[in-house]
Structure formats: structure tokens, C-alpha cells
Chain A
Amino acid sequence: MSYEILGITVLWIFLYGYLIVASVDFGAGFFSYYTKRTKQNHITHNIIQRYLSPVWEVTNVFLVFFFIGIVGFFPDTAYYYGTALLIPGSVAIILLAIRGSYYAFATYGAKESPLYNFLYGATGLLIPSSLSTVLTISEGGYVVVEDGNVRLLYGELFGSLYSWGVVVLAIVSVLFISASFLTYYSSRAKDEGALKLLRKYALTWSLPAIGMGIIVFFLLGKRNPLHYQNMVDIWWVFGISFIAFIIATYLIWKRRNYGTAFILVMIQYFAAFFGYGAAHLPYLLYPYLTIYDGFTNESMALALVIAFIAGLLLLIPSLYLLMRTFLFDADYVQGKK
């Protein structure tokens, strides 16, 4: 495996990690707001709070890791994406800043405020929308390079069906992933009321999630035929994704094995996300930048890989400890600790 492939794989794994943990977090924020509006919050409030409180900070780091790592492995991305994404990037920063701080203010400041809750719920849907535009832009046609200047074509971005398709896909996926996780979490907490409600949410969002996935797949065919063709060539990966989805939804429908169901949802997104990513290669930005011409020098690549492995040896046991303390400790989950 070349350094280039290794580097992008490492980064993609972290982005996938962010996709899962952040989706759970974003969706939880939205459900928390929604249930408050519909006066059902007494049912779900505890479940969501007990899960979110200890892990919210960790979520953010997955994202930071990705965008710092990509500049380390592929410095040219800083030049292309950095210049083009000034406004969308800043919008994402602002949303993340509002979300992170107001979550902490509301949780530790010990005062309920409708405004905080609204901000927390709304940013949960806006952040994935704004971040998903980066993937949209990478398909090409939204960015032009003229006399050494990189420019983002806003008209093209806001006027394209594909980019809106990706936004909707991002939102429904967030809600589906989150609901299926929280279903599992409330079943562990033996909280029947919350389980019933969240299971309903999971089922509600399952069809839109898979439906949008398929729609975006075909929209991509128009947008970027080369990428589309590459995806069709590895159709079996998306087949795995689809089958995982069917079984997961079936299990939730039949009210059994919620844990397995959530793992299958993770597999569903893992397959789709890596299938999408693998087919995207070698391009980082169609048609300007590939992983080969944007790659860092060899000694930096080696240093980053060593640092990455050393870091993982430190992080995996720590993450395990975190999960054991809060996610898999039945007493904690049930609110006895």
C-alpha cells in the first residue's frame, strides 16, 4: 500500500468516525429539541442527557483530526479548499462554535433556556448540511482556478440539484443513525417509554435515508460520470450497504437485537462511505488535485504514520475506558450511577 493510499485511508476512517459519533450527537440535539416542543421530552430527556454529557467533546476532535490531518498528508488541499471554502467553512465554524458552547452553557450552567435548546437543535441539522457541501464541491465543477486564483461558484453550488440532494441525504442520515443508536441505548437503559418513541423515529427515518442514498447515487451520474462509473464498478460494496440496511430496519421493526441493528447501520454507512471514497480516488478535487500530486514529502508521511500509530495505541484504550464507563456500564446507562 502506498503512503498516499495509507494516508487517505487513515483520514477517511476518522471522517467515518466523525460521521457516526457526530450524527448521533446532532440527531440527539434535534430530537431533544423536537420532543421538548411536542412536550414529550420527559420521555427522552434522560436518555439523551446521559449519553451526550460525557462524550460531546470527543465528537469534535474527530473533525479537527480530519482537517488537520489532511493538511499534513495532503498540503495542497489547504491551498485549493482553503481558498475556495472561506465562506462555507466560516459558516461551519460559527455553527460548531454556537453548538459546542451553548451545549456546555445549558448543561453546566444549570439553567434551562428555550433559546439554548433551539440553537442546539437547529445547529444539529445545519452543521451536517454545511459540512456536506465540501463533499459536493470535491465532485468538480463548483470550483474554478483562474490565473492562479481559486474561486467557488456560488451560483453553481446553490443552483445544482446534486448539492441539495447531498444536503437532504446528510440530514436524513443524521436522523436515522441517531435514532437507531438512541433506540439501542434506551433499550439498554430499560426505558420503555423512550424506546417506543425513539424506535418510531428510527423507523420513520429509515426509508428517507436509504431513498435519498439511492437518489444521490443517480444524481451523481449526471454530475460526475467518471466517479459514478467507478462506483458502479464496485456495485457489490453498495449491495452490502443495502443488505445491512434491510436487516437493521427489519430488526428494529421486529423489536429485537437493537444492538446488532445499530452495528448493521454502522456497516451500512461504512460500506457506502468507503465505496464512495474509494471510487473518488485518485481525485481529492476533480479535476485539479489527486492524492499523488498533492501529497506531502516522504519523510513527513512516515513521521505522520508513526505518530498516528503511536496515537492510536494511546487512544484506543482510552476510548475503550470511556465507552466502558458510560456506554456499556448498565448501571450508568440506567441512571443508577
Chain B
Amino acid sequence: MFFEYDPVIYSRILTGLTLGFHVIFATIGVGIPLMIAIAEWMGIKRNDPHYTLMARRWARGFVVTVAVGVVTGTAIGLQLSLLWPNFMQAAGHTIGLPMFMETFAFFFEAIFLGIYLYTWDRWKSKMKHFLLVIPIVIGATASAFFITSVNSFMNFPQGFTMIDGILTDVSPLAAMFNPATPTKISHVIITCYLTSAFILGAIAAYKLLKGNNHIYYKKALHLTMVSAAVFAIGTAIIGDLSGKYLHEYQPEKLAAAEWHFETESEAPLILGGILTDDNEVRYALKIPFALSILAGGTPDTIVIGLNDFPAEELPPLWIHYAFDLMVFIGMYLAFVSVLFVFMNWKKNWNAFNRPLLWSVLAGGPLAMLAIEAGWFFTEVGRQPWILNQVMTVAEGATTSQHVDIMLYVFIILYAVLGITCVRVLSRMFKNNPVERELEKRGLTHTDDRKAN
């Protein structure tokens, strides 16, 4: 390629590729079960077959994405050992517990998903089938919980003592429940819910924009946007707490995200902009005091600047853009969903107007982009460490030859999987549109009351 073979670089790119691809499916894998559960519950509670059909259709699409999520999850599980053997050796000693438990959580989810999908019409009582979705939601969320606690540990390793490179005094629970854990886990889980709600909402908005005015889509859009508004507000609150965590425990990451060079109070929040060669910020939008407030809740909070850290321990400063992108999209999603809910609540306003539908449609892919930006921000923001202050990325990597060839092979694999997945999903729903399915189930003449 363009640089000399270095297994560390290639391992990083390959891991980034696998995780970047996997996280798409992992995110909806965590969030969609909850949306399915809500829809099925509404179907039972309101005795409205539209919602039940919604749950059915979502579940049908979901299982295809689960398949890709499972195989890419298996890939990253194995790749961690293949590409980062030294890291995994250390991780096995310290943070092996939640990794192990994650497989249990997934096992649990997989079993019930298998039962759920094939038992829609098996019992007289619809409640029985609904009960099966609960373990799926729990398993999916628990998977996110356990695996994110591993990532928290990488940001704030604790629960062991290192003497001459040898790990002793290990406390698996202290490692798992470190200071990074609460904000990280809640942030990951709620944004999975938010993103999933928006993706499903975007599909409904797309159909409405294309002129399918069936009440089914309006109900779907309303359900997803109400959920999204709740999750978006939760995301904002947790995002604020994450800022305070960074200030307290990983100030260099916060400073890098914000291009904050001088240690000072009343620090401004910098949005966008470019960085000149002598570290001057140009063309940025500065919100006075905002960084101090984000970090400590008050304008007089002192925020440590980049100049106070050794230069070789700083992450690359482009993560500022990833951070901004994540925050900006998060605010956009909150705005759009809250606006929709508000306009729908005002009885004589039309929430289903075209500009708002377009905004919801854009929100789906944007939400996924924010997820990617957030993960790249947190992972690159930890550089040069794989275990913060304990082990560098270079120390953790494999020494194997041929990681480059593997990289090319996996690029092809993911491209093929991604394209086929999209094609299969679109064919699946095109060949079996809602209208036809409603007709087949004899549901064409249900009342057309306004979605609420």
C-alpha cells in the first residue's frame, strides 16, 4: 500500500473496519427489540392490529440484521484475540468476566428470538407471545451493558495492580464497575434506542413522502417519534454527565475534543472551525462558558488544557470533528422528534407536513452517522493507549505478518454482506407491502382514527 508494513497500523484499520461495520448492526440489535416490544404491547393494549403488524414486520426485518450482527460480532470476538493477542492476554486476566457474561446474555437473547419468530399465531392469548419479547429486550440490552463495561475498563482500567508487568490483586467487579462505566453504559444503551427509533421512523416517513398515506405509516411514525423524543432527552442528560466524567477522569480526551489548549476557567465551547499550524482555532463558533459548564456545571470550573499534557500522550486532534458531529446530530434528533410530538399534540397543526417528514427521513442515517462518530471519537480519543495509562496500542497488537492481506479480504467480505443485506431487506418489504399484508389478514376496514 502507501506505507511500510506495520502490523499495528493494519490491526488498527482492520479492527476499526470490523467495529465500524458491526456497530451498525449491534446498535439496531440493541434498540429494535425494544421498539418491537412497544409496538406489540400497543397492539394488545389498544386492540389495534396495525401495531401488531408493525411488530411483526419490524421483527421480520430485524432478524436479517441480527444475522449480520451475529456473524460480525463473532468476527470481532475472534479478531480481538487474533489482532490484539497481548491486549487480550491482559484483558483475560482483568476484564474477562463481562466478556464471558456477554456471551450468556446473547445466548439468552438468541434462544428467545428463535422462539419468538416462529410462534406468532401459536397461542390464543396474545400476551403469551408478548412475554417472549421481554427476554429478547433484556438480553439485547444486557449484551450492550456487558460489552460496554469492557470498553469503560479500557478507558479507566482499575481493579488490579501491576508490578513489573505482572498483574496481581485482581478484582473483577472493581474492573467492571469503574468510574467510566455508568455514563458510558447509559450513553451507549440510550443512543441505541434513539437511533433505532429514528431508523424505523425514517422508514415510515419515507413511505408517507412517497404518497402512501395509509394510517399504518402515520401510527408507525407517531410511535417512533414519541419514543425518540423520550430517548433524545435522556441522551442529552446523559451526554452532559459524560462530559463531566471526562473532565474528572480523562481530561485530555475532553480537551482534545474541544481544542482546549490553555488551562482556564470560563472556558468556551468550540464548535467546528479549523486548527492552524500553531494551534490557533479559526472560523469556529465559540459559546462562552459552555465548556466549563459542560465539565463542572458552573462557569468558574477550571478545565485543564492540552498544553498541560505530554504531547506524546495526546490523541489526534481531528476527533474534535467527530465529537461535534455526534453532539450536533444528537441535538438535531432531539429537535425533530420533540417538534413532531408537539405539532401532533396541537390538534389543528399538521405534523405530517413534508419538511418535517424530510427531516425525520434524514434523521435515520444521521443517527447512525452519530453512532459511528461517537465510537470513533471515544476510540481514537484514547490514543495512544489501548488500556488507558497501562498499555499502548502498539504494545497490544499482534506481531503477525499478513494483517494487510486480511484487511483487504475483510473489506470485500463486509462490502458483499452490506450490499446483500440491503438488497434482501428492500426486496423483502417491496414484495410484501403493508397494504397487501393488511388485506391478506383481512384488516382493510379498521377505523381510520387519527394516530395518537
Could you tell me which A residues sit within 8 Å of B by CB distance? 53-55, 57-58, 60-61, 63-65, 67-69, 71-76, 78-83, 85-87, 89-90, 92-94, 96-105, 108-111, 149-150, 296-297, 299-300, 303-304, 307-308, 311, 314-315, 318-319, 321-322, 325-326, 337
Q: CB distance A97 to B75 under 8 Å?
A: yes
Q: CB distance A322 to B115 under 8 Å?
A: yes
Q: Of B108, B409, B410, B420, which is within 8 A of A105 by CB? A: B420
- Report B35-58 residues with CB < 8 Å from chain A CB: none
Q: CB distance A299 to B104 under 8 Å?
A: no
Report 8 cross-chain contacts, Cβ distance below 8 Å, ordered by A residue.
A78-B89, A82-B83, A85-B82, A87-B406, A89-B81, A100-B67, A105-B67, A307-B97
Q: CB distance B78 to A109 under 8 Å?
A: no
Contacts of B89 in A (CB 8 A): 75-76, 78-79
Q: Does B281 contact A (CB under 8 A)?
A: no
- Those 7 A-B pairs whose CB atoms lie nearest each other, nearest first: A75-B92, A104-B67, A72-B96, A82-B85, A78-B88, A311-B104, A82-B81
* A83 to B98 alpha-carbon distance, docked (Å): 23
* A89 to B402 alpha-carbon distance, docked (Å): 13
Q: Of B63, B112, B167, which is within 8 A of A318 by CB? A: B112
Q: Does B237 contact A (CB under 8 A)?
A: no
Q: Of A55, A98, A150, which is within 8 A of B114 by CB? A: A55
* A53 to B66 alpha-carbon distance, docked (Å): 14
Distance in angstroms from B164 CB to nearest chain A CB is 16
- Report B105-138 residues with CB < 8 Å from chain A CB: 106-108, 110-115, 117-119, 122, 135
* A308 to B172 alpha-carbon distance, docked (Å): 14
Distance in angstroms from A85 CB to nearest chain B CB is 6
Q: CB distance A105 to B70 under 8 Å?
A: no
If A75-B90, A149-B399, A315-B111 touch, does A64 touch B96 (CB 8 Å cutoff)?
Answer: no
If A64-B77, A75-B89 touch, does A86 touch B172 (CB 8 Å cutoff)?
Answer: no
- Report B399-452 residues with CB < 8 Å from chain A CB: 399-400, 402-403, 406, 409-410, 413, 417, 420-421, 424, 427-428, 431-432
Q: CB distance A322 to B78 under 8 Å?
A: no
Contacts of A73 in B (CB 8 A): 92, 96
* A322 to B96 alpha-carbon distance, docked (Å): 28
Provide the main secondary structure of the chain B interface: helix
Q: CB distance B77 to A78 under 8 Å?
A: no
Q: CB distance B115 to A72 under 8 Å?
A: no
Contacts of A68 in B (CB 8 A): 77, 99-100, 102-103
Contacts of A57 in B (CB 8 A): 66-67, 70, 110, 113-114
Q: Does B93 contact A (CB under 8 A)?
A: yes
If A101-B68, A315-B108 touch, does A89 touch B82 (CB 8 Å cutoff)?
Answer: yes
Nearest B-chain residue to A94, judged by Cβ:
B413
Q: CB distance B67 to A101 under 8 Å?
A: yes
* A304 to B172 alpha-carbon distance, docked (Å): 9
Q: How many A-B residue pairs have CB under 8 A?
A: 217
Q: Does B263 contact A (CB under 8 A)?
A: no
Q: Of A54, A78, A90, which is within 8 A of B92 by CB? A: A78
Contacts of A304 in B (CB 8 A): 96-97, 100
Distance in angstroms from A215 CB to nearest chain B CB is 30
* A82 to B400 alpha-carbon distance, docked (Å): 9
* A303 to B92 alpha-carbon distance, docked (Å): 12
Q: Does B203 contact A (CB under 8 A)?
A: no
Contacts of B292 in A (CB 8 A): none
* A53 to B168 alpha-carbon distance, docked (Å): 46
Contacts of A325 in B (CB 8 A): 115, 118-119
Which among A57, A76, A86, A296 has the highest number of chain B CB atoms within 10 Å? A86
Which among A90, A92, A96, A326 has the highest number of chain B CB atoms within 10 Å? A90
Contacts of B191 in A (CB 8 A): none
Q: Of A64, A71, A314, which is within 8 A of B88 by CB? A: A71
* A60 to B108 alpha-carbon distance, docked (Å): 13
Q: CB distance B424 to A83 under 8 Å?
A: no
Q: Of B66, B67, B92, which is within 8 A of A71 by CB? A: B92
Q: Of B94, B107, B108, B424, which is within 8 A of A300 by CB? A: B94
Q: CB distance A105 to B421 under 8 Å?
A: yes
Nearest A-chain residue to B132, judged by Cβ:
A321
Contacts A96-B75, A322-B114 supplied; 20 other A-B pairs, CB < 8 Å: A53-B118, A60-B74, A61-B110, A74-B92, A75-B90, A75-B91, A78-B81, A78-B85, A80-B85, A86-B83, A89-B78, A92-B78, A94-B409, A97-B72, A109-B64, A109-B424, A110-B431, A300-B92, A303-B173, A318-B135
Q: Does B170 contact A (CB under 8 A)?
A: yes
Contacts of A108 in B (CB 8 A): 60, 63-64, 424, 428
Q: Does B86 contact A (CB under 8 A)?
A: yes
Nearest A-chain residue to B420, judged by Cβ:
A105
* A296 to B77 alpha-carbon distance, docked (Å): 19
* A110 to B61 alpha-carbon distance, docked (Å): 12
Q: Does B383 contact A (CB under 8 A)?
A: no
Contacts of A63 in B (CB 8 A): 74
Contacts of B117 in A (CB 8 A): 54
* A256 to B102 alpha-carbon distance, docked (Å): 42
* A74 to B92 alpha-carbon distance, docked (Å): 7
Q: Does B71 contact A (CB under 8 A)?
A: yes
